[in-house]
């Protein structure tokens, strides 16, 4: 019998293309060294949807539409249209950070935003409320217009991850890291040279993989996610079990 099995997987749920749930055939060994060798999808992500909002003076302003392939200019135009009734215009500074200005010369404050709105506006590290100075608020951070700089493929059979944010352990298990160097509507192709993990072969009967951003929030894809993986049989009494799971920092 073969000691290594090869898997080709893809997502099929049109409402959740970032998730793959499956049952994998296991090698005839008590343990399996599982490696996700490659990931492919199209860089077409929903960055804002009808649940997203920005909150001005404790009033939420929802966008009520879906958006992808954003940049600083398109975000500023979107927000200017959204906030025109309260006389706030949004534009960019010389380094593409957003600027909010009251054309009515009134002081105002940004009191909150949805998760996705924080990412595209540069509010992801801000503390609210942010109060205007001379009727203007300058963003201190550049927005993320194609999700966060690093994406992860997580799974119920991956290696546990540690983040420095809040200095706590997260119950997220990583099987692949994807560096965000892709372009809108072009393929994302990533090969894995970092992660493999040894699991009980029985665990392969119920496996899921999910593509998430650097904060472990699921990515909203508009096309299927494809994975290639291998399962190498490991004898529990052999020296192969000395392979250690990677530790993430």
Domain co-membership, 164 together with 235: yes
pLDDT at 196: 87
- The 10 Å Cβ neighbour count of residue 35 is 21
**In which element (H, E) is residue 155 found?**
strand 150-162
Residue 248 has pLDDT above 50, yes or no: no
Domain co-membership, 110 together with 159: no
Q: What single-letter DSSP state applies at residue 147?
A: S
Residue 182 confidence class, pLDDT cut points 50, 70, 90: confident
pLDDT in tens, 142-181: 999 989 999 999 999 887 777 766 655 566 789 999 998 8
Domain co-membership, 35 together with 84: no
Q: What single-letter DSSP state applies at residue 202?
A: G
Domain co-membership, 62 together with 78: yes
Domain co-membership, 24 together with 69: no
Domain range enclosing 234: 4-45+147-242
Among 77, 107, 138, residue at a domain's last position? 138
Domain co-membership, 102 together with 123: yes
In a domain, 36, yes or no: yes
- Specify the number of domains making up the chain: 2
Domain co-membership, 65 together with 27: no
The C-alpha atoms of residue 2 and residue 24 are separated, in whole angstroms, by 15
In a domain, 72, yes or no: yes
In a domain, 247, yes or no: no
Among 107, 138, 169, residue at a domain's last position? 138
* Residues in contact with 236: Cβ distance below 8 Å, sequence separation at least 6, in sequence order: 29, 30, 31
Picking from 37, 28, 1, 25, the residue whose alpha carbon sits closest to that of residue 227 is: 37
Domain co-membership, 164 together with 126: no
Among 95, 119, 138, residue at a domain's last position? 138
Domain co-membership, 124 together with 57: yes
pTM for the model stands at: 0.87
Picking from 28, 33, 25, the residue whose alpha carbon sits closest to that of residue 8 is: 25
Over range 18-42, report the average pLDDT.
93
pLDDT in tens, 35-85: 999 999 999 999 999 999 999 999 999 999 999 989 999 999 999 999 999
């Amino acid at each position: 019998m073969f000691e290594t099995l090869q898997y080709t997987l893809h997502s099929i749920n049109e409402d959740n293309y970032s998730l793959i749930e499956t049952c994998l055939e296991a090698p005839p060994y008590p343990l399996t060294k599982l490696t996700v060798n490659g990931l492919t999808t199209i860089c077409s992500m929903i960055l804002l949807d009808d649940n997203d909002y920005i909150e001005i003076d404790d009033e939420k302003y929802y966008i009520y539409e879906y958006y992808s392939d954003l940049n600083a200019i398109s975000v500023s135009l979107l927000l200017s249209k959204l906030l025109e009734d309260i006389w706030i215009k949004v534009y960019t500074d010389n380094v593409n950070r957003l600027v909010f200005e009251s054309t009515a010369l009134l002081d105002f404050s940004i009191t909150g935003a949805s998760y996705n709105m924080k990412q595209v506006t540069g509010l992801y590290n801000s503390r609210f409320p942010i109060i205007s100075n001379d009727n203007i608020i300058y963003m201190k951070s550049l927005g993320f217009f194609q999700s966060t700089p690093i994406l992860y493929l997580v799974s119920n059979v991956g290696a546990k991850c540690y983040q420095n944010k809040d200095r706590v352990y997260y119950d997220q298990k990583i099987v692949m890291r994807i560096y965000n160097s892709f372009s809108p509507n072009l393929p994302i192709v990533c090969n894995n040279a970092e992660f493999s993990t040894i699991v009980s072969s029985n665990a392969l009967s119920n496996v899921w993989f999910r593509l998430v951003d650097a904060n472990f929030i699921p990515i909203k894809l508009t096309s299927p996610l494809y994975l290639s993986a291998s399962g190498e049989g490991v004898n529990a009494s052999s020296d192969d079990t000395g392979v250690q799971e990677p530790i993430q920092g």
